[in-house]
Structure 1
């Protein structure tokens, strides 16, 4: 996302860049920002937004150019409790449409039936190889 562009301009860019998969699952910019609870700020430059608002707009980016696979790194960083629940609902809706999500996170995402791979150590840790 470019700080100088408005939220709407950023989302419009990503929709055009990623293309339309022909899926009815892709949302309009208005519907995507409404889905993340930020429909009233699309006229603002992205750089004016708080870290939590920027993260929510990043979710909207996933919604304007539908992709069946979401690969996410720390998706709930900078989010408050209500935004965490919103994100869990967005993932639930994505899964209902046949999508899949692979997320790296330090915190539970609040999802039912999620499969986890906990990375608790690596070979050589006890031998001091990693410092």
Structure 2
């Protein structure tokens, strides 16, 4: 299982933000994306997740390998914690939600409507969705937002267990999660928008 990126150029609003970018992410690895706010980390993750097309380059990965965790938690407020996880488990063709409840400290909240959760609890539930996807490659965009120190530790443990089982994770974060991870700084790949202006770049506003 491997994610291979070669010569990739990604755009925001049709304007290139990162260009000629490449890296390899293999089973058992964690790669942390770094770079200033607005440098293109979210755009890169969205492109890798298939939510928008690249302007150039190649993304090679096994089919149905990606689970993407964005800023939004993707919860249905009227459903309980357990019902939300069961819904996502059914979407991905898996069944067991108990491990996710335990690993993200949600057992006591299993019957509470998601709308009645605190911001940190909603974030834990959003991250618990990853555990029921069965997907080997996690793409995560600032996953620890709204989490206290104890919850950050729970999340880091979940990532360790995932990669120990042969998974991989690409994480955009500004904090040290205490993981055995390589750092990939996107700053050197900042694009020159003027160099590609007028090339008919795709405008993601139409997605």
Shorter-chain TM-score category? 0.7 to 0.9
100, 106, 124: which is aligned to 2:168?
100
Post-superposition offset of 1:51: 1.2
| 3-state SS in 1 of match to 2:171 | strand
Kindly indicate whether residue 102 of structure 2 is the aligned counterpart of residue 13 of structure 1.
no
Of residues 105, 116, 121, the one that matches 2:183 is 116
| Contact kept in structure 1, 2:81 and 2:125, CA below 8 Å | yes
Q: Larger strand proportion, structure 1 or 2?
A: 2
Q: Following the alignment from structure 1 to structure 2, what is the Cα–Cα distance between the partners of residues 118 and 65?
A: 28
Name the CA distance, whole Å, in 2 between partners of 1:6 and 1:93.
26
1:123: how far off?
Answer: 4.8
Alignment of structure 1 residues 1-131 onto 2, 5 Å: 1-20=75-94, 28-112=96-180, 114-120=181-187, 122-123=190-191
- Aligned partners of 1:75 and 1:82: how far apart in 2? 14
Mapped to 2, the partners of 1:94 and 1:57 lie a distance apart of 17
Report how many aligned residue pairs link the two structures. Answer: 118
Larger relative helix fraction: 1
**Normalising by structure 2, what TM-score?**
0.53
The DSSP-based 3-state class of the residue aligned with 1:116 is: strand
Distance in 2 (CA, whole Å) between partners of 1:71 and 1:40 is: 28
Q: Which runs of 5+ in 1 are unaligned?
A: 21-25, 125-131
Normalising by structure 1, report the TM-score.
0.81
Query: Taking CA–CA contacts closer than 8 Å with sequence separation of 6 or more, which of the two structures ends up with the larger relative contact order?
Result: 2
* Root-mean-square deviation (Å): 1.9
